Structure 1
Amino acid sequence: MDAELDGQRGLDHGAWNPLLLIYPQHHIPVVQLSLLSQGSTADHVALGKAIAPLRDRQVLILASGGAVHNLRQINWQGGPAPDWAQAFDDWLHDRLVEGDTKSLIDYRQKAPGGALAHPSEDHLLPLFVALGAASIGEAKATALHRSFAHGSLSMAAYRWNG
């Protein structure tokens, strides 16, 4: 994979927002990785595998996105998650903790409401980078947090140990 630095571009909210919450008092070096503009879920798993050796050098690979992210379905007043959002979030959780990478890669065909949960994939593709970086084989995730905001936005967070 070819890569190049763009020193003119600042950090996206997907990078600085979670880092601010995790490390509010620290100044840590950050390299933000862009998504592959025409890349599939499998391409993003491959990207994760390409950067996986950084873990051996004590580099934290943090992928930020959204487990369910459909801005057209937000309920600003809050309330319970709609059935379609909860079903997708539960399916995603089960596949991640089982290490079912093949089903995850094909989530649009296999998951309930995959296209509704992600009308565009830009908020889910970081998960595939993390999945690829976690392991060359079938990596099993651990849920760190699961909740919904504004009705239909899943705030789920996962980690992989390797």
Structure 2
Amino acid sequence: MNLQTLPGLYISHGSPMLALNPEQVGPALERLGENLPKPKAIIVMSAHWESNALEVSTSIRPETWHDFRGFPEELYQMRYPAPGQPELAEQILKRFADANLTAYANNSRPRDHGVWMPLLHMYPEADIPVVEISLPISMTADDIFKIGRTLSVLREQQILLIGSGSITHNLRELNRHGGESAVPEWASTFRNYVVQKLSHRDFDAVLDWKNIPYVERNHPTLEHFAPLFFSMGTGERFSLVHSSFTMGSLGMDIYRFD
């Protein structure tokens, strides 16, 4: 069997409106899906599945969850019916156990928009099995990095690993009134610092997130940044796939790890 090693990705999924208004990042996701070898399966850690303990979705066919309010009705009609893959979920659970990472099966979790929204652009046919893993709020950055490192070997089985969040995510600071808006210095400085450190393979500086400039203003809560720690664990070589901002300060970067 000729399997091609896939990268790990960090995808900024932005607002749910990305599904209807792709802006710059939608075409970037489409190109990524076209240019990568087609995955045999996809594993996603999403900012929108925070949990006390590490969990893995074992559902055969998870429901598409519209886990947001106040958006156009058209958005709530969208479905992403990609199947789950319980066999892969069991393999993930075994790898976690072998790495002394306590994890639990969850067969009822619906698929949140941090999973289906970027995949809608990358793989619109929804014909690739998807397994979601949770973001444990009790874990440190190093622990989440270890989760990515533990699953990194699956890349050799043509499985795509994705951390889904947003490189900057302060909803109170967004310009929601449309039109072009200047990127504030606190957002660009934060984003540029992270990219510089990753480019120089200084992963420790990013894992030491409390000392990143303007971290609290960019991430009043950490759940959209933490999936990056997972993605960093999947590969040692960083490359920048896409960079843009929307609504002023919402960073829409995509990173690749090989």
TM-score, L = length of structure 1:
0.92
Distance, in Å, in 2 between the alignment partners of 1:140 and 1:99 is 7
Higher strand share: 2
Distance, in Å, in 2 between the alignment partners of 1:140 and 1:157 is 14
Distance, in Å, in 2 between the alignment partners of 1:151 and 1:101 is 27
Deviates more, 1:77-86 or 1:146-155: 77-86
Superposition map of 1:32-47 within 5 A: 32-47=132-147
Distance, in Å, in 1 between the alignment partners of 2:209 and 2:106 is 32
- Report the secondary structure of 2:195's partner residue: helix
Q: Residue 150 of structure 1: which of 215, 236, 247 is its match? A: 247
Aligned residues: 156
Deviations 1:49-82 (A, max 9, x none): 1111211211100111100111111111350111
Q: Residue 187 of structure 2: which of 69, 74, 85 is its match? A: 85
Q: Is the 8 A contact 1:69 1:123 kept in 2?
A: yes
Q: Match of 2:237?
A: 140
| 1:123 paired to 2:224 | yes
Higher helix share: 1
| 1:114 paired to 2:198 | no
Quote how far apart the aligned CAs of 1:5 are. Answer: 2.1
Superposition map of 1:4-43 within 5 A: 4-43=104-143
Partner amino acid, structure 2, of 1:18: P
Distance, in Å, in 1 between the alignment partners of 2:173 and 2:237 is 30
Distance, in Å, in 2 between the alignment partners of 1:40 and 1:13 is 24
Partner amino acid, structure 1, of 2:242: H
- Report the secondary structure of 2:125's partner residue: coil
- Report the secondary structure of 1:64's partner residue: strand
Q: Is the 8 A contact 2:234 2:257 kept in 1?
A: no
Distance, in Å, in 2 between the alignment partners of 1:21 and 1:58 is 19
Deviations 1:86-138 (A, max 9, x none): 100111111111111110011221x210111111110011110010121xxxx
Partner amino acid, structure 2, of 1:118: H
Q: Percent identity?
A: 35
Deviates more, 1:95-104 or 1:2-11: 2-11
User: For the aligned residues, what is the CA RMSD?
Assistant: 1.1
Q: Is the 8 A contact 2:239 2:257 kept in 1?
A: yes
TM-score, L = length of structure 2:
0.59
Q: Is the 8 A contact 1:108 1:114 kept in 2?
A: yes
Gaps of 5+ in 2: 1-100
- Report the secondary structure of 2:111's partner residue: coil
Partner amino acid, structure 1, of 2:134: S
Gaps of 5+ in 1: none
Task: Show structure 1 runs of 4+ deviating over 6 A.
Answer: none
